[in-house]
Structure 1
Amino acid sequence: MTRTDLTAAADGSAGYNVRRLGYLDIQGGGQVEVHRGHAFVGHMSPPDGTSIIDVRDPANPKVVATVAPPDQYSHTHKVRVVGDLMICNVERHKRHFYRKGERIAAVEEAHRARTGRDPGDAAIAAELGVEAADVPELRAGLERGYRDGGFRVFDISDLARPRELAYVHTGGIGVHRFHMDERYAYISTEMEGFVGNILVTYDLADPSAPKEVSRWWMPGQNVAAGETPDWPGQRHRLHHALRFGDRMFAACWYAGAWLVDVSDIAAPRTIGRFDYHPPIPEPTHTFMPVPGRFDGRELALACDEEHDHVPGQPHGFLWVLDITDPANIKPVSTFHVSERDSPYARAGGRFGIHQFREKMDGTIVHAAWFAGGLRVIDIADPARPTEIAAYVPPPPEGYPAPQSNDVDVDDRGLIYLLDRNRGLSILEHTG
């Protein structure tokens, strides 16, 4: 069966080799992770924060606990769990919107220099790409500032009663996506003196008092030390980094994919980079190794996050990379989903890839493809990634298209597909 064989169902879904076992109508989320028979979901917007959901009966998922964000101006849309510890990010909500407010003074000055008059809200809004009614809120955001970014650590030995152990404040707009293991948290965050997110590693030996052990950044980010970025704004920044063995796989937005040696955790060291911007228009979202070797080669996956699509440009897609020589990373192949392979490709919202599961079982990749839904891809032949199953969920009520945002798989092989706007689908691969 091929990608063009999607079968439509009466509920508005489409797919093949996948069936839905359960569904939970919850607020949309940024990340899902399954642990001990429970799905942990970080929600996109306050007042929803983190939900802990009992999924041991996949046909009847039940929320057993929720954790609210620390305030109405923060979201906690990412979550990680190891053992009895849960970490949630804290990041400024509507961060891209409020960043526009930082340009108001420059817009006013340019307008006065050009016309000799102070600009009204309509003129400011036109320059910033917002509505005139938004300008007072942007000014209020500037006045209010933001000092709550960071991450929170919870004891979840009692899943129904998460207990906060620590709230670590970082800097700027706070923490985005991150990784953790039994000992360390690998945090992507803004920090004072740096432009854009960097990697800050914290020791969790005492989870009630995480201690910073190192920082890694790209040359040009450390402006406090005299470095000068050669890119505008925060285009070059760490999205997040995943640790596998003694290496970090760092996805760095419009700076591409970076390999970092962390054999000395106190002194991370760049050992390789693959940047394809330009010509590829979408930023690097996730970078991860493939287990095993293929004809002696070591491989990795990368994916780009699609934003508003520009006609004539490729949709966000999946890369297969040869990282055998970190100093000479090379593309092996790519995998794309055609607009014909989803009934909602042009209905509204984004279409291309957002994220893949950050762990592989053999050669199988599970990817969340926005309006393209779930895509299950086999890279046994790295030169020809092959889709083996797909599921496009029906749009949540009130939305024109699904926006599949994240995916995880539990130890039973069940698949958890989280929509950015609303809903968690629990699926079974039947192929």
Structure 2
Amino acid sequence: MKKKSLLAGSLAFFLAGAPLVSAHDELSDEGDGKWQDVEGYGQVNPITVIEGGKNVENLKEVAAVPWAGLDGVNNRTADVYAHKGFAYVATKAQNSTGVRVFDMKDPSSPVEVSAFADDRPGTWQEKVVVKSVSTPYFKGDLAAVSVQQWSRNTVGGGTVLYDVSDPLSPKKLGFWELPESVTGTHELYLTTQGNRTLLLTANSNANYYSQGEVQDFVILDVTDPAKPTPVFEWDPSELESTYSGAYFKDRDGVNRRAFAHSVMTDVTGNYAYVSFWDMGTLIFDISSPENAELIGRTSFERNVQGAAHSVALAKGGTVLIENREVFNPDPSDPGFERGWGYVRMYDIKDKSNPVLIGDYRSFNSATQIKAGERAAGRYTVHDPKVVGNTLYLSHYSDGVRMVDITDPSKPVEIGSYVPKNADIWGVFIDRNYILASDMQSGLKVVQKNNGGTAE
């Protein structure tokens, strides 16, 4: 295991730097922040609009499941995942409403059958990942759920593990708890190596809040889900010598923000991709998890705002799709380009040297000329999923965007699904359906004309 302490004086550096709040889900003492309060937001998209072309023709919304609330309490959706005919929808509510499970036997009529990870008041659950695993300790369907405090220093966050082999009756197996000074696990991923199961966690700002006691990126062995065991941690100062108090100066001398936001692996479980905000996407060889090694990274030009939020892989893992979540389209730094966050495509045949080959920007996220001309809403890209040569993007007020990446250097938008007053957080492809979680209005199901499943 690797661990280093923060440099002395990092707190003073932090207080002197730019505000921590950089993302929709940036973790602060107040938890919820003000990201949802967009003037005129309710008038963003008064009607549902669906358009489709190559690979996504004949799109049709077949279900829109409003939240009835759980135990009489309403909440927002967070991410969405699907596994073996069930949809798992995470939620964002101060009283901990956990993960809601829907039977998708009839996708036009999802039926809520259970809820879990809802037993820790004062927390919310953003991310859920479900995998079928087989180890000497557990065989079945394992769910990992991120747990974040609504307000820090109140109740411990971290990651909770459940047996969802019977989705109607989830059973709690284990909990990896972070210090109360750390908000919790933000995003996470499950992977397997033979009969070994690994949990990779992005614990945003853990390095800063714990003063180096816990790092932002941690790998745990959960072969026995009842006993999650950390086997590797990574300190950002190993890469950037100027890293201190969650900031560093890049090669151009620009003060940049750095924290682990999300993580995923390739299908082999040998490589991890950690979205580390302005530090870029970090590529680790985790074939030996205890000795994981940083082997490559993406970086940003002087005019690019950074904000590496999440990734997907395409073309057999040779193309990296990097989503950048930028909520300040009119940056105060005149050296930064204007416009909401967009997607960058990298050739990673040589993982030690990612090469930028293209980008995709929705019409609304593209740079605009005059200040104040933007329509109400937030048009930054959020999360990516890939099936074959089609990239699916959750895009908040821009709904779900669908992009042909047959030639990743020349991505072409081929379809979109923008529900009324869209506020799309997550997207997942399950068989012949697009699942989308709308923060304000619940689970959406769109039928498409081609199959496949994306993770």
- SS of 1:275's partner is coil
Q: Which structure has the larger Rg?
A: 1
- Cα deviation code 1:151-200 (max 9, x no counterpart): 11111122112111112102311100000024111111226443996221
1:336 to 336, 342, 361: 361
CA contact (8 A) 1:322 1:332 kept: yes
1:173 aligns to what? Answer: 183
Does residue 355 in structure 1 map to residue 404 in structure 2?
Answer: no
2:448 aligns to what? Answer: 429
**Cα offset, 1:204, TM superposition:** 1.6
Does residue 16 in structure 1 map to residue 51 in structure 2?
Answer: yes
2:86 to 22, 38, 45: 38
2:264 aligns to what? Answer: 242
Does residue 370 in structure 1 map to residue 396 in structure 2?
Answer: yes
- SS of 2:437's partner is strand
Q: Distance in 2 between matches of 1:160 and 1:88?
A: 17
Letter of the 1:325 counterpart: D
- Cα deviation code 1:275-316 (max 9, x no counterpart): 1164222511112332338xxxx3211011132432771211
Q: Distance in 2 between matches of 1:21 and 1:58?
A: 7
Which segment drifts farther, 22-31 or 377-386? Answer: 22-31
Q: Distance in 2 between matches of 1:253 and 1:277?
A: 14
Q: Structure 1 residues 339 and 227, CA, compared in 2 at 3 Å: closer, same or farther?
A: closer
> TM-score, normalized by length of structure 1?
0.76
Does residue 198 in structure 1 map to residue 246 in structure 2?
Answer: no
Q: Distance in 2 between matches of 1:49 and 1:369?
A: 23
Which segment drifts farther, 73-82 or 192-201? Answer: 192-201
2:136 aligns to what? Answer: none
CA contact (8 A) 2:215 2:234 kept: no
Q: Distance in 2 between matches of 1:58 and 1:237?
A: 37
> TM-score, normalized by length of structure 2?
0.72
Does residue 188 in structure 1 map to residue 188 in structure 2?
Answer: no
Q: Distance in 2 between matches of 1:271 and 1:384?
A: 27
**Cα offset, 1:146, TM superposition:** 3.2
CA contact (8 A) 1:195 1:222 kept: no
2:309 to 280, 285, 307: 285
1:91 aligns to what? Answer: 148
- SS of 1:421's partner is coil
1:103 aligns to what? Answer: none
**Cα offset, 1:32, TM superposition:** 0.4
Which segment drifts farther, 72-81 or 324-333? Answer: 324-333
Does residue 59 in structure 1 map to residue 108 in structure 2?
Answer: yes
Q: Which structure has the highest helix share of the two?
A: 1
CA contact (8 A) 1:260 1:272 kept: yes
Q: Structure 1 residues 222 and 152, CA, compared in 2 at 3 Å: closer, same or farther?
A: farther
* Aligned pairs for 1:278-427 within 5 A: 278-292=302-316, 298-310=318-330, 313-339=338-364, 348-357=376-385, 360-395=386-421, 402-410=422-430, 412-427=431-446
Q: Distance in 1 between matches of 2:161 and 2:189?
A: 13
Letter of the 1:367 counterpart: L
Q: Distance in 2 between matches of 1:153 and 1:15?
A: 37
CA contact (8 A) 1:195 1:234 kept: no
Name structure 1 gaps, 5 residues minimum. Answer: 1-9, 99-144, 396-401
Q: Distance in 1 between matches of 2:213 and 2:244?
A: 9
- SS of 1:22's partner is strand
Letter of the 1:168 counterpart: W
Q: Distance in 1 between matches of 2:303 and 2:264?
A: 25
- SS of 1:316's partner is coil
**Cα offset, 1:77, TM superposition:** 1.6
**Cα offset, 1:212, TM superposition:** 1.4
Q: Distance in 1 between matches of 2:339 and 2:215?
A: 26
Equivalent pairs, count: 355
CA contact (8 A) 1:354 1:370 kept: yes
- SS of 1:350's partner is coil
Q: Distance in 1 between matches of 2:90 and 2:353?
A: 36
- SS of 2:237's partner is coil
- SS of 1:266's partner is helix
2:5 aligns to what? Answer: none
- Cα deviation code 1:210-242 (max 9, x no counterpart): 11111123226999xx97457279921111221
Q: Structure 1 residues 222 and 314, CA, compared in 2 at 3 Å: closer, same or farther?
A: closer
- SS of 2:185's partner is strand
**Cα offset, 1:73, TM superposition:** 2.0
Letter of the 1:240 counterpart: S
- Cα deviation code 1:335-378 (max 9, x no counterpart): 0111299xxx9553311201112xx3222111111111111111
Q: Distance in 1 between matches of 2:302 and 2:149?
A: 29
Name structure 2 gaps, 5 residues minimum. Answer: 1-44, 53-58, 68-74, 133-140, 249-254, 332-336, 367-372, 451-455
CA contact (8 A) 2:339 2:365 kept: no
Q: Structure 1 residues 54 and 347, CA, compared in 2 at 3 Å: closer, same or farther?
A: farther
